[in-house]
Chain A
Amino acid sequence: GAVVSQHPSWVICKSGTSVKIECRSLDFQATTMFWYRQFPKQSLMLMATSNEGSKATYEQGVEKDKFLINHASLTLSTLTVTSAHPEDSSFYICSASLGRDLNEQYFGPGTRLTVT
C-alpha cells in the first residue's frame, strides 16, 4: 500500500524559532500533498494544498509567510513554521494523493509540535 512518512514525529521548540516538518511518500509519486492542523478534540483543518513544482494554495486565514510550504519533488513536501508561538502548538498532519481523481488520501503519522 501507499506509505507516507513524516519527520519528526514530535518536536519541542522555543518561541521565535522555526521548525521544519518533512512529509515523504515512500513508495509512490505524490502529485498533490496536503497539510492539515488538528487541535485537541477537533477535526482536521486543511492549511494548504501543494503540487510539485508550483506554489502552495493556502486556505483562508492561514498565513503563507508564517507557514512556508515547499513541494520540491514528487516524493517530498516540507512545512516550515516560522517564528513559532505557543498558539502554533498543534498536531500537524500531511497527506498525499496520486492525482485529483484518486479517491484516497494517504496520511502521514503526524507531527506533534509544542512551542514553549
Chain B
Amino acid sequence: GQNIDQPTEMTATEGAIVQINCTYQTSGFNGLFWYQQHAGEAPTFLSYNVLDGLEEKGRFSSFLSRSKGYSYLLLKELQMKDSASYLCAAMDSNYQLIWGAGTKLIIKP
C-alpha cells in the first residue's frame, strides 16, 4: 500500500533550527512536496524535490533520498509565524498526491 509517515507534533524555539522528517512508500514516484498550512487555511506550497539532494530556498530547505524513501524539511531562524502544520506529500506513478497527516510545529519564544 501507499503510506506517508511524519511526526504528529514538534516543538522548537524561536531563532532555532528544526528538521521535520517524512518517509514514504508509493507506487512509483514523481516527486516529494512540502506544504505549509496555518490553522483554518488552505495549504501553501513550500518545496518540490524529485532528484536526490538538498534544495535550499531562503530559510527553508528540503532534502530527498529516493533510495531510502526519505525526505526532510529544514527550517532555520525560526519565527513565531512559522507555527503551522507542515504536510509532506508524495506523487505516485499516476501523478496523484499521497498526503501525510501533517506535523504540527509549535514555536516557543
Residues of A within 8 A of B (CB): 42-46, 49, 91, 93, 100-101, 103-110, 112
Contacts and interface: CB of A to CB of B under 8 A. Distances in A.
Contacts of A108: 42
Interface stretch (B64-72, B75-83, B96-104): B96-104
A105 B97 contact: yes
A104 B43 contact: no
A56 to B, nearest CB: 14
B50 interface: yes
Given A100-B95, A103-B48, A104-B48, A42 B101 contact: yes
Interface residues of B, number: 19
Given A44-B87, A103-B91, 8 more contacts: A44-B43, A45-B99, A46-B97, A93-B43, A103-B33, A103-B48, A103-B50, A104-B45
17 contacts: A43-B100, A43-B102, A46-B97, A46-B99, A49-B96, A91-B40, A100-B95, A103-B31, A103-B33, A103-B48, A103-B91, A104-B48, A105-B45, A107-B42, A107-B43, A108-B42, A110-B41
Q: For B31, B45, B87, B100, which residue has the most chain A Cβ atoms within 10 angstroms? A: B45
Going nearest first, the 6 A-B pairs with the smallest beta carbon separation are A107-B42, A110-B42, A43-B101, A43-B99, A103-B48, A100-B95
